[in-house]
Amino acid sequence: MNRKIAIQGFEGSFHQAAARKFFGNGVEVICCSNFRDVVKIADDKNSSDGGLMAIENSIAGSILPNYNLLLKSNLKIIGEIYLQIDQNLLVNPGVCLDDIREVHSHPMALLQCADFLEKYNWKLIETEDTALSARHVHEHKSKHIAAIAGELAAELFHLNMIAPNIHTQKNNYTRFWALQNADLAREVEDANKASIIFETDHSKGSLAKVLAKISDGDINLSKLQSMPIPGSDWKYAFHADCEFTDIQHLDHVLESIKPFTAAVKVYGVYRNGKTPRSWPQTVVNKSEIEK
């Protein structure tokens, strides 16, 4: 039986492409209009088998609200996937560049392809979603409208990629987390990465002491992200991605940082996704280290 996975976006979206890459082409996606609904449905064992959610982009950075959504849920990270975001100009079969009068897509996609679009005198129409734009072109059978979207949208809506890879930044990757209700999540074999969140005890140098314990414990800190704690008075929590070769090293580090933290939560222990060489591996807010 194919898994039912909640995603943000619509049929043909990059979330669906990432879900297929992680769970297989037979995955059944439950399309959600926002990340809050993704977490809600993924957390409901009667509605889905889990979810897939974007967490950061190599150009735009981290999606901070998604950390808080995950923190408040009963979901665990069971894996990650990196997807290259390739934007393509899609048209109905038989349409050529001279036929195009309008280009429809999400504002971010239009911005990502600005250098290409400046070469033509086309009217640019901002829409809710790249995949919806592709579906609109398909449904209206217009020879004067094109869409900017991914390869999966072209495949699903039978459109031609008249101009592939038109985005300016070629090394544009999004990292996604595969999520499952904690009651269903099984231990991941050969796990070598963990995502955790912790609050320091706010004593002087407590963050530096936590980072030292992580380093001394033979753990590679591949990302450190500070986040304000909602409802607090200028207090911060820290998300950390920890890579290891032996899970006992992780267990030891989690125990050793307890004296310097007010709270620690493990989002998930999973296998490291294939990381593009261009991906920035460490994101550290240095201003927080001395607090």
Residues of the chain with CATH 3.30.70.260: 193-288
To which CATH superfamily is domain 4-85+172-181 assigned? Periplasmic binding protein-like II (3.40.190.10)
Q: Is the pLDDT of residue 248 over 60?
A: yes
- The whole-number pLDDT of residue 282 equals 42
- The whole-number pLDDT of residue 60 equals 85
Q: Is the pLDDT of residue 281 over 60?
A: no
Question: Which of the listed CATH numbers 3.40.47.10, 2.30.110.10, 3.30.70.260, 1.10.3720.10 matches domain 193-288?
Answer: 3.30.70.260
**153-161 long-range Cβ contacts below 8 angstroms, 24+ apart:** 153/12, 153/13, 153/90, 154/88, 154/90, 155/12, 156/11, 156/12, 157/12, 157/90, 158/93, 159/90, 159/91, 159/92, 159/93, 159/134, 160/90, 160/91, 160/92, 160/93, 160/95, 161/88, 161/89, 161/90
Tell me the C-alpha to C-alpha distance, in Å, between residue 122 and each of 14, 56, 88, 140: 25, 31, 16, 18
- The whole-number pLDDT of residue 279 equals 45
Task: Give me the mean pLDDT over the 207-215 stretch.
Answer: 93
To which CATH superfamily is domain 88-163 assigned? Periplasmic binding protein-like II (3.40.190.10)
Q: Is the pLDDT of residue 50 over 60?
A: yes
Spatial separation of the C-alpha atoms in residues 232 and 104, rounded to whole Å: 42
Q: Is the pLDDT of residue 122 over 50?
A: yes
- The whole-number pLDDT of residue 284 equals 41
Q: Is the pLDDT of residue 289 over 80?
A: no
Q: Is the pLDDT of residue 63 over 50?
A: yes
pLDDT band for position 1 (cuts 50, 70, 90): low
- The mean of the pLDDT values for the chain is 91
Residues of the chain with CATH 3.40.190.10: 4-85+172-181, 88-163
Task: Give me the mean pLDDT over the 21-38 stretch.
Answer: 95
- The whole-number pLDDT of residue 2 equals 81
Q: Is the pLDDT of residue 285 over 80?
A: no
Task: Give me the mean pLDDT over the 283-288 stretch.
Answer: 41
Spatial separation of the C-alpha atoms in residues 194 and 241, rounded to whole Å: 6
Task: Give me the mean pLDDT over the 141-147 stretch.
Answer: 96
- The whole-number pLDDT of residue 271 equals 95
pLDDT band for position 250 (cuts 50, 70, 90): very high
Pinpoint the alpha helices (H) of 141-205. 151-156
- The whole-number pLDDT of residue 229 equals 82
Percent of the chain, pLDDT > 70? 94
More confident residue, 236 or 95: 95
